[in-house]
Copies of this chain bind each other. A is one copy, B any other.
Amino acid sequence: MKLATLSDGSPDGRLVIVARDHSHFVQAVAARTLQEALERWTEVEPLLQRAYDELNAGSAPGANPFVASEMAAPLPRAWQWLDGSAYESHGDLMQKVFDMDPIPRDRPLMYQGVSDTFYGGTDDVPFPNETDGIDFEGEFGVIVDEVPMGISADDAMKHIRLIVQINDWSLRKIAPVEMKTGFGWVQAKPPCSVAPVAVTPDELGDAWRDGRPALPLNVAWNGKKFGSPDGYAMGFGFHELIAHAAHSRRLVAGTVIGSGTVSNTNFREVGSSCIAERRGIELLDTGAASTPFMRFGDTVRMEASLADGSPLFGVIEQRVVRG
């Protein structure tokens, strides 16, 4: 099943059901917003599924053409956003670049980020200046219904209701300064962007394995291919990230959990999903990072399609602007 949120001027938008081929959508009847659907998922899911089946069968009255730019993020705001850093090759590179001590790998890495705003996939994204080191970070994420405190990783898997594709905007000149305090990131992590379509795990078919999305994330910067690392290489699966997050808190319905920047050990072949990683490779190879960060007016595009080329999350394609 594929869901999206139509921008309608309200803070949470209007839940819609999107056809598998992204040709059309219909407004959901079973719930007004995705947040509401997640809070009553067991009751609402079969009703949404039936409407999805009708839409795919071409028998849904009131279907409209799907236009990505009319969509907000699937959750335009959420009560909680916890972002992991599950791709170890990314962590290894960043440690070298920032001259940090190695971080133990026996438990997931995770920080809490701003969740009162998620930009839509085609929204312009405002930043205060260019000198902070504007960077994109291509990620996958999951959205859960309510998860009790102390859940096991096995049980956490059952709470993964939707999978999404995220651009976790980062300000690289501030990131190491904040990281060295041990307090995590505030200024370095403005709101994220999310591709328009949130999908249930079954939509990934065989590409959803071990709580990991086995899909290449294709990233282009100013129209030029930047990387296509595969999502499967997570050191911890999403179910393990959820269990980690829920050690001492329940997760409310609509909590979003991120994978961290998608990265593969063969980054020299597949490229990267953030500029910082390319700069790290340059630093290792030549002693200096030569690729600059983003400038106002730059665009980034991110898309993860199924192996047969059919669309999955839709596309993040957006421009950075002066805030």
Asked if residues B187 and A248 are in contact (CB atoms below 8 Å), the reply is yes
Closest to A116 in B: B79
Partner of A186, one of B103, B111, B132: B111
Does the CB pair B183–A248 fall under 8 Å?
no
Q: CB distance B127 to A248 under 8 Å?
A: yes
B323 engages A150 (CB within 8 Å): yes
Contact A185 B186, beta carbon cutoff 8 Å = no
Q: Are B184 and A248 in touch, CB under 8 angstroms?
A: no
> Given the complex of chains A and B, what is the CA–CA distance between A247 and B177 in angstroms?
14
- Nearest-Cβ distance from residue A170 to partner chain B, whole angstroms: 10
- Docked pose: A255 CA to B115 CA in angstroms: 11
Chain B residues whose CB sits within 8 angstroms of the CB of A126 once the complex forms: 149
In Å, the complex CA distance between A323 and B150 comes to: 9
Q: Is A80's CB within 8 Å of the partner chain B?
A: yes
* Nearest CB on B from A321, distance (A): 12
Report A53 CB to chain B, min CB distance, Å: 32
> Does A61 count as interface, using CB distance less than 8 angstroms?
no
Given A132-B248, A247-B128, answer yes or no on A181-B116 (Cβ-Cβ < 8 Å): no
For window 42-97 of chain A, which residues contact chain B by CB distance below 8 Å? 77, 79-80, 82, 85
CA distance A113 to B110 in the complex (A): 12
CA gap between A58 and B260 in the complex, in Å: 57
- B185 with A117: CB separation less than 8 A: no
Q: Which of A283-306 contact B (CB under 8 A)?
A: none
Question: With the chains together, A234 CA to B107 CA distance in Å?
Answer: 34
Answer yes or no: A191 CB below 8 A from chain B CBs.
yes
A80 and B150 alpha carbons, distance in the complex (Å): 23
Chain B residues closer than 8 Å to A174, beta-carbon distance = 247-248
Across the interface, A180 reaches (CB within 8 A) one of B111, B150, B182, B250, namely: B182
CB within 8 Å for A186 and B245 given contacts A103-B181, A112-B112, A116-B80: yes
Q: Is A100 an interface residue (CB 8 A)?
A: yes
Q: Known contacts A111-B183, A179-B182, A184-B111: does B80 contact A249 (CB below 8 Å)? A: no
Q: Does A244 contact B (CB under 8 A)?
A: yes
- The verdict on A184 contacting B183 (CB below 8 Å), with A116-B252, A128-B248 known, is yes
User: What residues of B have a CB within 8 angstroms of the CB of A153 in the complex?
Assistant: none
Q: Taking the complex as formed, is A271 at the interface, i.e. its CB lies under 8 A from any CB of chain B?
A: no
Binding site for B on A (CB under 8 A): 77, 79-80, 82, 85, 100, 103-104, 107, 109-117, 126-128, 132, 149-150, 171, 174, 177, 179-188, 190-191, 244-245, 247-250, 252, 255, 323
7 interchain pairs, CB-CB under 8 A: A79-B79, A111-B184, A114-B249, A174-B248, A183-B184, A190-B248, A248-B323
**Interchain residue pairs A-B with the least CB separation, the first 7:** A184-B184, A79-B116, A179-B182, A111-B183, A190-B248, A187-B247, A116-B252
Additional 9 contacts, C-beta under 8 A, given A77-B79, A82-B186? A79-B79, A109-B181, A112-B114, A128-B247, A128-B248, A150-B323, A182-B182, A183-B185, A190-B248
